[in-house]
Amino acid sequence: MSLSVLICDDSAMARRLLARSLPEMPSWTINYAENGEAALDFLSEHSVDLLFLDLNMPGLTGFDVLAEIRKQDYGCMTIVVSGDVQETARERVIGLGAMDFVRKPANRDIISKVLTTYGILPGDYQPASADSPSVSAGNERLPVFDFSDAIREVVNVAMGEAGSYLSDMLGTFVGLPVPKVVNAPFYSLPDSLPWDDDIELSATSHGFKGRGVAGEGVLLMPTKELEALRDWLGVDQVPSRDPLTGTLDDVSELLLGACLSGISQQLDLPFNHSFPVLLGHRRKAVDLLNCQNKAETVLGIGINYRLQEPPISCYLQLLVTEESIGTLVSRVAIISEELKVEVSQ
């Protein structure tokens, strides 16, 4: 069976994982797009039978791509493969014309089952073992990725799980932009935050540890938005607890716990984290992080959760010590060994 397939994802690691999860059909032609704009350009110039589409990408999101596919009537079958597992996200993509929704990380069994369900594969098709060559195993164009791309994708999947919990807790859709990954001096971290330097923020911090990995998780929110969230939730005054701090701590516990759990599951690296410690309210980021004179290098992973209603943003900053990076590289290398690709730091 001849089939033209396009895989669209901003992560090279995700594109490679998906390509290697496709069934062993040598007559299939596989092409790749690293963002929504590239996917639409390709669709406008080539006939595509099947599109695998990520949702959370810089620029045009998967939602935008689906809307344009419907507008232009490109006619390709689309399967969304995403770490955003909110029920609202699933409903939206189906409403926009997607054939199905698959949560990341996908594997060959899952993809084969979906393709069989929709008649793309014959009903008696039996997936080969994970060690067998896939449709693209010998393809020199198979995407390659580095450590930063791999960590970004691992965190992207983990943040999707956390965003789903937050969405369920608050009863609202949560936007999930692509995580930021920087390897930089500690004092430069405020530059990566999504707010102006003079915005007053609130922040709370947790320490976390794993096997060979140590770091800190800091949740930052504009104080005015935190107050709006407190009022929207109708948090009652508890004599032993400030409701503003309590709201911040509850959100922080949920997001950090779920995110670390998602990373742990993918890298087989268990974590534990401490109780939240308030860093302060109505202060600038540079003061909350106390980073002015700290030149040591850290791996900073920034995750921005954007609530649709009320319009509120919660920024979870994971700070991993420089000494821990080697352990993370080795855990990612295990994934890479399965994919037969070298990962550099």
Residue 342: inside a domain, yes or no? no
CA–CA dist 67, 77 (Å, integer): 13
Using DSSP bridges, classify how beta strands 100-103 and 28-33 pair: parallel, antiparallel or unpaired.
Answer: unpaired
Q: How confident is the model at residue 2 (pLDDT cuts 50, 70, 90)?
A: confident
Whether residue 325 sits in one domain with residue 202 = yes
Mean pLDDT, residues 94-115 taken together: 93
129 pLDDT higher than 70: no
Domain that holds residue 24: 3-143
Residue 341 lies in a domain: no
CATH number of 205's domain: 3.40.1550.10
Q: Same domain for 133 and 160? A: no
Q: Which residue has the tokens 């608050």?
A: 170
In a shared domain, residues 266 and 236? yes
345 falls within a domain: no
pLDDT at residue 139 is higher than 90: no
Asked whether residue 170 carries a pLDDT value surpassing 90, the answer given is: no
Domain boundary among 143, 167, 192: 143
Structure tokens at 328: 């993370």
Whether 33 is in a domain gets the answer: yes
Q: What 3-state DSSP class applies to 321?
A: strand
Are both 129 and 177 inside the same structural domain? no
Look at residue 234 in the predicted model and tell me its pLDDT. Answer: 82
User: Minimum mean pLDDT among 40-44, 125-129, 234-238, 323-327: which range?
Assistant: 125-129
Domain boundary among 118, 143, 168: 143
- Position 202 scores a pLDDT of 97
Residues 96 and 188 in one domain: no
Count: domains in the chain: 2
Of residues 6, 298, 9, 325, the one with CA closest to residue 178 = 9
Q: How confident is the model at residue 212 (pLDDT cuts 50, 70, 90)?
A: very high
Question: Mean pLDDT throughout 54-66?
Answer: 96
| Torsion sign across C-alpha atoms 104, 211, 329, 203 | positive
| 111 within a domain of the structure (yes/no) | yes
First to last CA, the chain: 40
User: Which residue, 143, 176, 199, sits at the end of a domain?
Assistant: 143
Residue 245 shares a structural domain with residue 293: yes
Q: Which two tokens stand for residue 108?
A: 């060959």
8 A C-beta contact, residue 113 and residue 121:
no
For the segment 293-307, what is each residue's pLDDT rounded down to a tens digit?
A: 888 889 999 999 999
At residue 48 the predicted structure's pLDDT band, cuts being 50, 70 and 90, is: very high
Residue 239 has pLDDT above 70, yes or no: no
For residues 75 and 158, state if they share a domain.
Answer: no
Say if residue 76 is in the same domain as residue 219: no
Same domain, 158 and 103: no
Percent of the chain exceeding pLDDT 90 equals 68
Task: Determine contact, residues 57/35, Cβ cutoff 8 Å.
Answer: yes
Pair 62, 182 in one domain = no
Q: For the ranges 184-188, 263-267, 331-335, which has the lowest average pLDDT?
A: 331-335
Asked, for residue 227, whether it belongs to a domain, the answer is yes
pLDDT of residue 236: 65
E strand segments, the chain: 3-8, 28-33, 50-53, 77-82, 100-103, 174-175, 180-185, 201-210, 213-222, 271-273, 277-283, 297-307, 312-321
Cα Rg, the chain, nearest whole Å: 21
DSSP letter at 131?
A: T
- Any idea what DSSP says for residue 191? G
The reply to whether 18 and 91 lie within a common domain is: yes
What is the arithmetic mean of pLDDT over 207-233?
Answer: 94
